[in-house]
Structure 1
Amino acid sequence: MEQFTQLVDQVSGIVWNSILLYLLVGTGILFTVRTRFVQVRKFGEGFKRMFGSFKLNGENAGKDGMSSFQALTTAIAAQVGTGNIAGCATALYSGGPGAIFWMWLSAFFGMATNYGEAVLAQKYKTVNSHGEVTGGPIYYIRARFKGTAGKIMAVFFSLAIIFALGFTGNMVQANSIGLAFHTAFGLDPLIVGIVIAAVAAFTFMGGVKRIASLTEKLVPAMAAFYIIGCLIVLVINRSELLPALESILIGAFRPQALLGGAAGIGVQKAMRYGVARGLFSNEAGMGSTPHAHAMAKVEKPQDQGVMAIMGVFIDTFVVLNLTALVILTSGKLAPGVEGAPQGTALAQAAFSQAFGSFGNAFVAICLLFFAFSTIIGWYFFGEVNVKALFGPKATKVYALIVVLFLVLGSFLKVQLVWNLSDLFNALMVFPNLIALLASSGIVARAARGEDIMK
């Protein structure tokens, strides 16, 4: 079993670091060029739409979909997760401060990719046999590739996302919460897991109406809480803010000048960890967030496309960026040094430097918000595909399995499950990217303001 675990880890590493890295960034560059930098041209419109439709108690979601803002918050709920804290800290430890610059770059191009995903999700959304509006990659893959090939690609994508996000992915999120609360408060991870699973089950049973209602309240609240906490730390560490920004730029192009040779971190390593963790965090091109954007009730696909741009911006340029600056200004980062804190431990050390003993508790609370919101988002994305493949009745079995995985994940860290989650996360990207590349002309027309529904 140990050999199989190592094999899965090696295959996952090759797929993520040697193939997907270039495909995801390449797709983002292509969409940026073909849409004439839509993420720049339409950023103001996206900003206005986001705040113009901001409501903590919006209209009830139902069979006909949800509001544009609810769709955005459901997408952000999945995007803003443990990767924004633990993933960012891991990238800094493994790739040095320069990794953050490459995160910025990958997110910039990822905004165009996410625009394309949302546009296609809107164009090819459909109404199922129960009168429910639904959409996502399984539908635009089928539409773009007729016949057996399209069916195989669509089914492969759906099975991969159900397993990667709904099952093993949510197991990872529950483990992050359990570990953080055990470290901060000494609580039994199993008890934490049972509570999380119970609240999640209550949310799942309420369907899309309850999920949309929860995310439109939870996402703004958790973002505000974390942003305020980070800003307080940065005010305390304000004298280190400019050196931190300088270290990001120097580390991106001349890491040896910053870190010396001991850490063994070069430009390629900074780039690899920055791009990989950035894409894994904002999920641009992975095919997850289109499930939420397909549900938005908008006049034309482009309207939700510009909202999708804001999801990547908030995830990377706001939340993840603040985590990076808190860590860099704390003086707790020791890139590549064996035994130095990394991951969640590094984030907790950074916040504790400013907040004292409250630092561990702050990170634990934020991880609870981030990971739980991701659990809700990922469950919903998996549910869409369960319905598409097996029908609405299968969702009860799916929900039960997810709840069981949440309990198990809170106290069991089975490395094989974690490695399989990474691998299936990677595998589900391929059919989605193929469909995106085949549809780049449609997205380009949408970015020019043309009617793509004809």
Structure 2
Amino acid sequence: MHEVLSWLNEFLYSNILLILLVAAGIYFSIRTRFVQIRLLKEGIVLLKEKAHNEDGVSSFQALMISTASRVGTGNIAGVATALAAGGAGAIFWMWVMAFVGAASAFVESTLAQIYKERDGEAFRGGPAYYIEKALGSRFFGIIFALLLIACFIFGFNGLQSYNVSSALAYYFDDQHLAGLLVGCILTIASAAVIFGGVHRIGIISSTIVPIMAGLYIILGIYITLSNASQLPSIFQMIFQNAFDVQAIFGGFAGSCVMHGIKRGLFSNEAGMGSAPNAGATADVSHPVKQGLVQVISVFIDTILVCTTTAFILLNYGIEDGLTGMPYVQMAVSKAFGEWGIHFITISIFLFAFSSLIGNYCYAEGNLKFIKNNKTLLFVFRIVTLLVIFFGAQADFSLVWDLADVLMGFMALMNIIVILLLGKYTFIALKDYQKQKKEGKNPMFHPEQLGIPNCECWEEFDEDLK
């Protein structure tokens, strides 16, 4: 089973998905006239907008929910693995993929807003919803929803919990005791948040994520500036290795290009169909607003957090056989001693906890798409908490491969769908820019634009009247 999953993993990511995700990102960049750069300032300004309803999720909170899920322990250990395997040049290609992937993130999050649904005073949506509404296929919508739930709850949430307990191995001789303690703490903390609903998830994420990412970035800046004399050689190493033709084509599968592309694409999740589930929850007056805001999450994840890790590691240097979390711990302890290891442990806990609640938010929206039932939702929440608890005490090597494969199929479905539906995003973007030029606060009227099956926005118009 493990061998089959490993083969599927390698085949999906090294062949089909990388080509499809890169091609889609380039296509969307061209069709939107590089909206990810052209309107980046506009997206930053939109972060200040409040939700229309008091209990609604603001653009900033929706951004933090998606960032909470995107920014996880992979931004620490994953970058270390990419550097160890692909060399310093992997960082350059990681930056390139953030730039390209941001256009796909804009398209999928705008579509999620166009086809979102009301959930009381809140909203929910994502690929499952636009597959059903825009393509008229509830069957394939359910398939996507099941893939996402299996991947994020039974795969990634268990793994995040396990990563925290593994990080505590430094402090405990008894690993079982560490797992039990971590399982209890994370389960209780997660229960307090997920039983409070999406609004509470938004509040928690918008508090934890900025603090967590900010402290980690400050650590990276301090280490980098303390070794400022090494900066020229680090940049030289990155660019020389990135364009080393012999190294690239001599073994492409293990090259810096391949590792950088994989790290960039699957760190920021652009185009994979996960972040739109958070983007749909925002209470905004026009879908493009949240599309622009979600672009920022890609840059936070890759340009800020992953680059911070990269510079911490490159200041230490690359050693044969040193990879993953031990590589990060060695690099930070060099600058701060044992205190640095404590800081990384706390960071991993916060990264993992924010990912747990972000992942749950995605899964809840997709469960409600399949069947919106209070009893089913309660049982689902209990199952989620059990996965978190037992995940801290298990070895999830098999589940990790399974989660990667499920996420690969998610991405495959979503990219094909947004390529088919991208025309609606282009129409919405043109409408948004037209209203901005007229000095208006853009309002979305899908019936006037010829965009079908947008019942949520028709209800929004009625509320304004």
TM norm structure 2: 0.88
Deviation, 1:353, is 1.1
1:157 and 2:144 matched: yes
Q: Which runs of 5+ in 2 are unaligned?
A: 435-443, 448-465
The answer to whether the Cα contact below 8 Å between 1:193 and 1:411 also exists between their aligned partners in 2 is yes
1:17 aligned partner, one-letter code:
S
1:367 and 2:348 matched: yes
Identical-pair percentage? 38
The answer to whether the Cα contact below 8 Å between 1:123 and 1:452 also exists between their aligned partners in 2 is no
Partner of 1:420: 402
The answer to whether the Cα contact below 8 Å between 2:183 and 2:392 also exists between their aligned partners in 1 is yes
2:362 aligned partner, one-letter code:
F
1:310 and 2:307 matched: no
2:223 aligned partner, one-letter code:
V
**Superposition map of 1:195-234 within 5 A:** 195-234=185-224
Partner of 2:114: 123
Q: Which moved more, 1:232-241 or 1:104-113?
A: 232-241
The answer to whether the Cα contact below 8 Å between 1:98 and 1:255 also exists between their aligned partners in 2 is no
1:286 and 2:272 matched: yes
Q: 1:131 to 1:209 in 2, by over 3 A?
A: closer
Separation (CA, whole Å) in 2 of partners of 1:433 and 1:368: 32
1:300 to 279, 283, 286: 286
1:445 and 2:417 matched: no
Q: 1:23 to 1:221 in 2, by over 3 A?
A: same
The number of equivalent residue pairs is 432
Post-superposition CA distance 1:347-384 (Å, at most 9, x none) = 11111111111222121111111111011100110011
2:182 to 181, 192, 206: 192
The answer to whether the Cα contact below 8 Å between 1:111 and 1:309 also exists between their aligned partners in 2 is yes
The answer to whether the Cα contact below 8 Å between 1:255 and 1:265 also exists between their aligned partners in 2 is no
Q: Secondary structure at the match of 2:395?
A: coil
Post-superposition CA distance 1:124-167 (Å, at most 9, x none) = 11125x56522111111112212xxx222211110000000122
Separation (CA, whole Å) in 2 of partners of 1:405 and 1:314: 28
Q: Secondary structure at the match of 1:133?
A: strand
Deviation, 1:429, is 1.4
Q: Secondary structure at the match of 1:298?
A: coil
1:322 to 289, 304, 308: 308
The answer to whether the Cα contact below 8 Å between 2:14 and 2:253 also exists between their aligned partners in 1 is no
Deviation, 1:45, is 1.1
Separation (CA, whole Å) in 1 of partners of 2:282 and 2:389: 32
Separation (CA, whole Å) in 2 of partners of 1:226 and 1:275: 23
Partner of 1:39: 36
Partner of 1:30: 27
Separation (CA, whole Å) in 1 of partners of 2:356 and 2:220: 23
Deviation, 1:120, is 0.5
The answer to whether the Cα contact below 8 Å between 1:154 and 1:431 also exists between their aligned partners in 2 is no
Separation (CA, whole Å) in 2 of partners of 1:209 and 1:194: 24
2:37 aligned partner, one-letter code:
V
Deviation, 1:233, is 1.1
Separation (CA, whole Å) in 1 of partners of 2:4 and 2:123: 41
* Superposed CA RMSD: 2.2
Separation (CA, whole Å) in 2 of partners of 1:184 and 1:348: 14
The answer to whether the Cα contact below 8 Å between 1:174 and 1:371 also exists between their aligned partners in 2 is yes
The answer to whether the Cα contact below 8 Å between 1:173 and 1:374 also exists between their aligned partners in 2 is yes
Deviation, 1:411, is 2.2
Q: 1:355 to 1:67 in 2, by over 3 A?
A: same
Separation (CA, whole Å) in 1 of partners of 2:233 and 2:381: 48
**Superposition map of 1:102-113 within 5 A:** 102-113=93-104
Partner of 1:436: 418
Separation (CA, whole Å) in 2 of partners of 1:74 and 1:216: 7
Separation (CA, whole Å) in 2 of partners of 1:433 and 1:124: 17
1:171 and 2:158 matched: yes
2:240 aligned partner, one-letter code:
I
The answer to whether the Cα contact below 8 Å between 2:53 and 2:283 also exists between their aligned partners in 1 is no
